[in-house]
Amino acid sequence: MTFSMTGFARAEQALPTGKLSVEVKSVNHRYLEVYVRLPDSLRFAEALIRDQVRKSLSRGKLEVTVRWQRDASEQQELVVQKAALDQLQLALQQVRQAVPDAAMPDALAVLQWPGVLAEADVEPEVLAGAISQTLIAAMNLLREHRGREGQELVGQIEQRLEHIHAIVAQLREAYPALQAALGERLRERIERLQAEVEPQRLEQELVMLLQKADIAEELDRLDIHISETRQVLKRKEPVGRRLDFLMQEFNREANTLGSKASSTDYTQAAIDLKVMIEQMREQIQNIE
């Protein structure tokens, strides 16, 4: 299945102490780039997030945003911060040494000191597991989104392939008549110049001219590229880079066809081919 590189997905998970949400935005990019936005309290999960994204996708520029909102109605466990308490105790000792008669704060006053009491954090292991589950859900939704858009792109590319196939068929059908017309023009030119040319020499010149204008090989290659592109679009693995290479091959044949143009039919066909190829190339830039 062919996937697009653009999409958006959001997943949420409710925990006893709050709500976790993960948003994933994806746009096209030559390689895989992952940007992670999350609060400092969840920074420990950044490596886990990057690893999971890399296992899911091969190309695209992704922005993963993680939000953690505590439940305001949930009664939080209070924990004494030992480091802050030790600092306060050291300060009180210094005060006692400087002013022996100074009144010391009681236990309630100590607990009210900034930084001594704090709400207990959710265990990092619990949050890491929740982030992993929520990210997987978001990535699955993103994959579905990218898959739907990818199928739309496949349909548009198929339309252009049909158009190119029709152009190739028309040129192949008209080719014998174009060759005959080219030979006739050569004979008429020689007659106008009133030049005496041996029949054998005339035949050689005609063969050389027809060889230079021969487009049979280009038409065959275009048919091969059409067939291969259709086969690639059916593959399960990422195909964006392969399709991009095929567009270069298409363009090479169209340029050669244009350089051999011996009539307005050839010229217009080469222009039409380049238009179709460029439209496909733009669509393929968004395929994973």
CATH code of the domain covering residue 62: 3.30.230.10
Q: Based on the domain organization, do 12 and 135 belong to the same domain?
A: yes
Q: Based on the domain organization, do 276 and 154 belong to the same domain?
A: yes
Q: How many CB atoms are located within 10 Å of the residue 169 CB?
A: 12
Which stretch, 173-187, 228-242, 254-268, has highest mean pLDDT?
Answer: 228-242
Q: Based on the domain organization, do 70 and 155 belong to the same domain?
A: no
Rounded to a whole number, what is the distance in angstroms from the first to the last CA of the chain? Answer: 10
Range of the domain at 96: 78-119
Residue 56 is assigned to a structural domain of this protein: yes
Q: Based on the domain organization, do 13 and 140 belong to the same domain?
A: yes
Residue 267 is assigned to a structural domain of this protein: yes
Final residue in a domain of this structure, among 147, 162, 188: 147
Detail the DSSP E strand segments found in the chain. 7-15, 18-27, 32-37, 60-70, 78-80, 117-119
Q: Which residue has the tokens 């275009």?
A: 222
Residue 172 is assigned to a structural domain of this protein: yes
Mean pLDDT of the chain: 84
pLDDT tops 60 at residue 120: no
Q: Based on the domain organization, do 172 and 264 belong to the same domain?
A: yes
Q: Based on the domain organization, do 215 and 273 belong to the same domain?
A: yes
Q: Which residue has the tokens 């051999």?
A: 260
Q: Give residue 102's pLDDT.
A: 82
| Phi, psi (deg, nearest 5) at residue 7 | 175, 170
Is residue 174 within 8 A of residue 201, CB to CB? The reply is no
Residue 1 is assigned to a structural domain of this protein: no
pLDDT tops 80 at residue 211: no
Is pLDDT larger for residue 193 or for residue 10? 10
Is residue 59 within 8 A of residue 172, CB to CB? The reply is no
C-alpha R_g of the chain: 36
Residue 2 is assigned to a structural domain of this protein: no
Q: Based on the domain organization, do 252 and 194 belong to the same domain?
A: yes
Number of domains within the chain: 3
Residue 18 is assigned to a structural domain of this protein: yes
Q: Based on the domain organization, do 140 and 13 belong to the same domain?
A: yes
Mean pLDDT of 83-105: 84
Q: Based on the domain organization, do 61 and 97 belong to the same domain?
A: no
Mean pLDDT of 195-204: 60
Q: Based on the domain organization, do 172 and 42 belong to the same domain?
A: no
Q: Give residue 189's pLDDT.
A: 63
Q: Based on the domain organization, do 132 and 95 belong to the same domain?
A: no
Distance CA 153, CA 156 (A): 5
Is residue 164 within 8 A of residue 223, CB to CB? The reply is no
Q: In 3D, which of 177, 158, 178, 161 has the Cα closest to residue 257?
A: 178
Residue 271 is assigned to a structural domain of this protein: yes
* pLDDT band for position 77 (cuts 50, 70, 90): low
Residue 37 is assigned to a structural domain of this protein: yes
pTM greater than 0.85 (yes/no): no
Q: Based on the domain organization, do 139 and 13 belong to the same domain?
A: yes
pLDDT tens column, 128-174: 899 999 999 999 999 999 999 999 999 999 999 999 999 999 888 87
> CB-based contacts of 78: which residues, under 8 Å, 6+ apart?
117, 118, 119, 120
